[in-house]
């Protein structure tokens, strides 16, 4: 019988409610396993391990390394698929970390969460778990994915490298560019992005040759979101400089470049030449750009195209904590499916 490995890390899907407090609990984890075995109609045997168990807001990049190290000790040939339980808050970041750390993995890996604990009547936890199992059983496409059902919407399959943070009104997840990999419709999966699916199938590594080498994430990365009135004098990055800074610009790839202004991003980049500055919000660098964008490029700003904030930030953590490739080259090289639309 095919095996499924469940890697428990906690989150709402493994939490219970005490009065007005939600927190991870062994009872929540046991309920997940019990419901899985009782309700599943799939011919799988289940195994489980627990390398972490916390609410996902407490996770840090070093925890990605812990999680990836679990994969480095697994015999992947034993499993039909792997499911990682997780909290919703930092799900897109860990999903991206698994995408980069498990590049070209030869089997499906799902990272799933829930909007409410499983005991809550509006929880979508079991629906998300069922969607992941269904995809593993019926499709079996290798890669890193998330299965998530937004309220009153069909379940969608998202690529780990494209998942964006959930909104805080409806707790809804979407893929970067609003284009999921697939959705569930009338008992079957319909691929919204056939190009990405073909890419995953073509680039998967043979199980016997698969090697995982997780970074330790000791070199720090900083992210700054542009907004009107942002005064860079309050950011003393020269005292304890990060290896790189990710600047989230306005939607058209622009930022403040007013001359002699403390709110000028161009001035800030020029004043910190030992730090690599990356810029996101660009769609096509072959098209005409605003004058402010050219000003940012001229002082050393490094544009990134068609990548979400969550994936770009996670990729920077990987780029500046590895030695096989120049970090700038690593960042400019398309990985997994982040740039495919």
CB 306 within 8 A of CB 341: yes
Mean pLDDT value across residues 251-270: 97
Going by their DSSP bridges, the two strands 79-85 and 2-7 should be labelled as parallel
Mean pLDDT value across residues 133-149: 97
Reported as a single tens digit per residue, the pLDDT across 317-332 is 999 999 999 999 999 8
Residue 33 — pLDDT band, cuts 50, 70, 90? confident
Question: By CB neighbour count within 10 A (0-12 exposed, 13-18 middle, 19+ buried), where does 27 fall?
Answer: middle
Element (H, E) at 317: helix 309-319
What is the pLDDT at residue 3? 94
Residue 227 — pLDDT band, cuts 50, 70, 90? very high
Report how far residue 90's alpha carbon sits from residue 39's, in angstroms, rounded to the nearest whole number: 28
Q: For the chain, what's the residue count?
A: 341
Report how far residue 321's alpha carbon sits from residue 209's, in angstroms, rounded to the nearest whole number: 23
CB 96 within 8 A of CB 317: no
| Average pLDDT taken over every residue of the chain | 94
What residue spans in the chain does CATH classification 3.40.50.1170 cover? Answer: 2-209
Residue 145 — pLDDT band, cuts 50, 70, 90? very high
Give me the percent of the chain exceeding a pLDDT of 90: 87
Cβ density class 217-236: b for 16+ within 10 Å, e for less:
bebebbbbebeeebebeeee
What is the pLDDT at residue 37? 59
Tokens coding 195: 């190009």
Segment among 33-37, 65-69, 245-249, 252-256 with least mean pLDDT: 33-37
In whole angstroms, how far apart are CA 207 and each of 33, 43, 72, 75, 212? 27, 22, 12, 8, 11
Specify the pTM: 0.96
Segment among 90-99, 201-210, 274-283 with least mean pLDDT: 201-210
Report how far residue 301's alpha carbon sits from residue 265's, in angstroms, rounded to the nearest whole number: 10
Does 182 or 284 have the greater pLDDT score? 182
CATH of 2-209, one of 2.60.40.10, 3.10.20.740, 3.40.50.1170, 2.30.30.110: 3.40.50.1170
Tokens coding 301: 């700003």
What is the pLDDT at residue 38? 55
β-bridge partners, 189 = 184
CATH number of 221-332: 3.40.50.40
Nearest to 24 by CA among 66, 58, 65: 58
Report how far residue 171's alpha carbon sits from residue 168's, in angstroms, rounded to the nearest whole number: 5
Mean pLDDT value across residues 286-305: 97
Contacts of residue 41, Cβ cutoff 8 Å, sequence gap at least 6: none
CB 11 within 8 A of CB 63: no
What residue spans in the chain does CATH classification 3.40.50.40 cover? Answer: 221-332
Residue 40 — pLDDT band, cuts 50, 70, 90? low
Report how far residue 128's alpha carbon sits from residue 148's, in angstroms, rounded to the nearest whole number: 5
Q: How far is CA 177 from the centre of its chain?
A: 14
Q: What DSSP character marks residue 252? A: T
What is the pLDDT at residue 42? 81
Residue 29 — pLDDT band, cuts 50, 70, 90? confident
CB 48 within 8 A of CB 33: yes
Going by their DSSP bridges, the two strands 15-18 and 21-24 should be labelled as antiparallel
Q: What DSSP character marks residue 206? A: P
């Amino acid at each position: 019988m095919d095996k499924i490995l469940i890697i428990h890390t906690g989150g709402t899907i493994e939490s219970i409610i005490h009065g007005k407090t939600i927190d991870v609990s062994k009872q929540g984890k046991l309920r997940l396993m019990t419901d899985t075995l009782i309700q599943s109609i799939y011919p799988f045997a289940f195994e489980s391990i627990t390398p972490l168990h916390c609410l996902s807001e407490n996770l840090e990049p070093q925890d990605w390394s812990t999680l990836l190290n679990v994969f480095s000790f697994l015999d992947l040939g034993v499993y039909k698929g792997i499911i990682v339980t997780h909290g919703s808050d930092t799900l897109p970041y860990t999903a991206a970390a698994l995408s980069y750390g498990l590049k070209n993995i030869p089997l499906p890996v799902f990272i799933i969460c829930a909007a409410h604990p499983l005991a809550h009547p509006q929880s979508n936890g079991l629906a998300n778990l069922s969607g992941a199992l269904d995809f593993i059983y019926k499709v079996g496409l290798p890669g890193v994915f998330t299965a998530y059902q937004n309220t009153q919407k069909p379940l969608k399959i998202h690529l780990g490298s494209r998942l964006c943070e959930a909104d805080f009104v409806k707790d809804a997840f979407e893929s970067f560019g609003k284009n999921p990999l697939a959705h569930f419709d009338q008992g079957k999966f319909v691929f919204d992005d056939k190009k990405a699916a073909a890419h995953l199938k073509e680039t998967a590594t043979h199980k016997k040759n698969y090697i995982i080498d997780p970074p330790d994430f000791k070199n720090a990365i900083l992210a700054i979101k542009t907004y009107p009135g942002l005064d860079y004098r309050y950011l003393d990055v020269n005292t304890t400089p990060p290896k790189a800074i990710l600047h989230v610009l306005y939607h058209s790839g622009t930022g403040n470049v007013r001359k002699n202004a403390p709110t000028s991003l161009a001035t800030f980049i020029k004043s910190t030449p030992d730090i690599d500055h990356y810029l996101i919000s660009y769609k096509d660098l072959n098209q005409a750009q605003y004058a402010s964008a050219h000003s940012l490029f001229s002082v050393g700003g490094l544009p990134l195209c068609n990548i979400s904030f969550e994936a770009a930030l996670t990729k920077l953590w990987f780029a500046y904590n590895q030695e096989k490739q120049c970090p700038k080259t690593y960042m400019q090289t398309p990985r997994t499916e982040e740039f495919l639309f």
